[in-house]
Amino acid sequence: MIEAKDVRAGYGKEEILHGISLRARKGEITTLIGGNGSGKSTLLRAICGFIPLTGGDIAVDGVSVKDMPRTELARKIAYLPQGKNVPDISAGRMVLHGRFPYLNYPRKYSKEDYEIAGKAMEEMGIGAFAEKQMSELSGGMRQKVYIAMALAQQAPVIVMDEPTTYLDMEQQLKFVRMAGRLSESGKTIILVLHDIPLALKISHRIAAVKDGRVIKCASGEEILESGVIGRLYGVDVKSVQTDAGCQYYYEIE
């Protein structure tokens, strides 16, 4: 479980997060929504220990991130950032980077590391591309490599910033199923999504972020009924019951 209490953080002298409190439970998908610049990605980076806190605290299973060595925190939290450089390595080596927090001196991957990385690639349907250079892959294929790297880390908490970027509709559906399986297995999943119908569909709880503050955190249905989506985006989302369950759509005037 991740628990943020009155978190303040930012870059240099600019404070981006102004006292955010949030709880992401084990076995659940918690999704952050909000406009560009609202503080969503900054919160993810604070959770992962990439930027220092200027106030408040963040705990992983009751232990403050301030008290965790970097390697231990990397074993607890797998992080998929939004903007990523394209390294000059193969897809298979990229996925293996997810095993780095577990390496001891000398830094050599074990047979188990290769097996775990291979399984993660197979789960993402990219096993055949292990020898391909990252620069040769499409944006969608590279995104699947990065997700596989996060899976290979085998951390109890998985944090992903816009993970469905570049994925086509089929791959988005596969991601939804995978995220569901991960949460059912007991992992804590924290996502940033701009696809609001998708967020409503897959999330146990949604946190609406605006101007560095969480203005509402509740179930998808409560978020929908509160009108907060209209406040954030100026667009309403409606729901309709179908044979396949509740479906969500944007209402465009």
pLDDT digits (tens, 9 = 90+) for 88-102: 899 999 999 999 998
Does the pTM surpass 0.85? The reply is yes
CB 33 within 8 A of CB 207: yes
Query: Once rounded to an integer, what is the mean pLDDT over residues 44-70?
Result: 92
First to last CA, the chain: 41
Say how far apart CA 45 and CA 159 lie, in whole Å: 9
Say how far apart CA 133 and CA 179 lie, in whole Å: 26
Alpha carbon separation from 126 to 138, 139, 168, 182 (Å, rounded)? 12, 13, 15, 19
pLDDT digits (tens, 9 = 90+) for 162-215: 988 888 888 888 888 889 999 999 999 999 999 999 999 999 999 999 999 999
Judged by average pLDDT, the poorest of 19-33, 35-49, 184-198, 229-243 is 229-243
CB 98 within 8 A of CB 78: yes
Residue 253's pLDDT band (boundaries 50, 70, 90)? Answer: low
pLDDT at 106: 74
Share of the chain above pLDDT 70, in %: 99
pLDDT digits (tens, 9 = 90+) for 67-95: 888 889 989 999 998 877 778 899 999 99
